[in-house]
Amino acid sequence: MADGWVLHVDLDQFFASVEVLRHPELRGRPVIVGGSGDPAQPRTVVATASREAREFGVRSGMPMRMAARKCPEAAFLPTDMPAYQQASAQVMATLRAFPVRLEVHGLDEAFLGGDIDDPQRLAADLKAAVLDQTGLTCAVGIGRNKNQAKIAARFAKQDPTGIATLTDETWMPAMGTRPVGDLWGVGPKTVPKLDALGLPTIADLAAADPDTLLQRFPPRAAMWLSIIARGGGDTEIVTEPWVAKSRSKEVTFATDLTDRADIEHQVTVLARQLGTEVVAAGRRVIRVAVKVRSSSFYTQTRETKLRDGPSTDLDVIAQAALEVLAKIELKRPVRLLGVRADLSPDESP
């Protein structure tokens, strides 16, 4: 079956690896990337930890202060998104040189598919080319669909070759006893619902009667859960450039905000900054959402559609954000504010 394989390329500890390339003296040392790079700055989190830092228990999403306690000798570096975007572009250009279809799935991930006779050989060639052209390492998962390939890439990170394969035949022996949270796309809100249905493992979910899933999930979600638990998934490789459907900006404050005027000012600043980026990208805003997270971590999100249609007017965007904010109760100190702009599908203002 020549045209039946999907490969998933996953760059290893991407941000940290890019930083080590830029700073060779850090090779072999624990490297932690996040925020401004200052672990003393409150309310910042780890974006990426190198393998050496992970050995100390440091993980992505961990507060930087906690990371500093776990690994005080680490090199702490600020997030430098332009550098990571440039490195990602070099990797994707390397992958595009191969005679397969490429679907970029983020800065550090991509799916490949096509007329692939020898997926193991292709995976080895991909790894070698990425290393040679960019200096970065990657894991490659091989499967009959995106779901299998994505999960296989996780196994590849633990394999000395950096390559692993999952197929219809090997899926259940490898995945059946694992918790449902190990499935791609099954998050912390879904796991308790499945547990409540008596479906804690992937094998349990795969064998579940559809009516059981419909007790907690709408039909489309229930069908999707059943498919991925059995190792099924999408096989289409979308080669068209990815176009963002939305953009967002948010800020976590070092000191909670309590004054409504300060909160409104910060929302206005975020909305105008976001609008400036949208206009610079040649897009238009059709809907604005505001997120407010209190000091107790209670989070509220509201949104509104622009009354007069898609717009690039910063005043209109900011005013819409303030109107949304007015719908949110502000009874507690505010820890975080965010603004999201949903974008018109056309790319010309």
Give catalytic residue positions: 109
DSSP state of 311: B
Terminal CA-CA length for the chain: 46
Q: What phi and psi values does residue 47 have, to the nearest 5 degrees? A: -85, -45
Question: Chain centroid to CA 52: how far?
Answer: 22
Nearest to 100 by CA among 121, 85, 116: 116
Write the CB contacts of 181 (distance below 8 Å, at least 6 apart in sequence). Answer: 187, 188, 191
Compute CA distances 77 → 35, 47, 52, 134, 232, whole Å: 8, 10, 15, 21, 40
Angle 121-114-7 from CA coordinates, rounded to 5°: 55
* Angstrom distance (rounded) from CA 341 to CA 290: 9
User: Taking the C-alpha atoms of 203, 207, 212 and 216 in order, what is their torsion angle to the nearest 10 degrees?
Assistant: 40
Q: Torsion-angle region of residue 162: left (phi > 0), alpha (psi -120 to 50) or beta?
A: left
109: β partners = 10
* Angstrom distance (rounded) from CA 26 to CA 28: 6
* Angstrom distance (rounded) from CA 334 to CA 321: 16
* Angstrom distance (rounded) from CA 113 to CA 103: 9
Q: What phi and psi values does residue 65 have, to the nearest 5 degrees? A: -65, -40
Would you say 297 and 291 are in contact if contact means Cβ atoms under 8 Å apart? no
Angle 202-164-148 from CA coordinates, rounded to 5°: 40
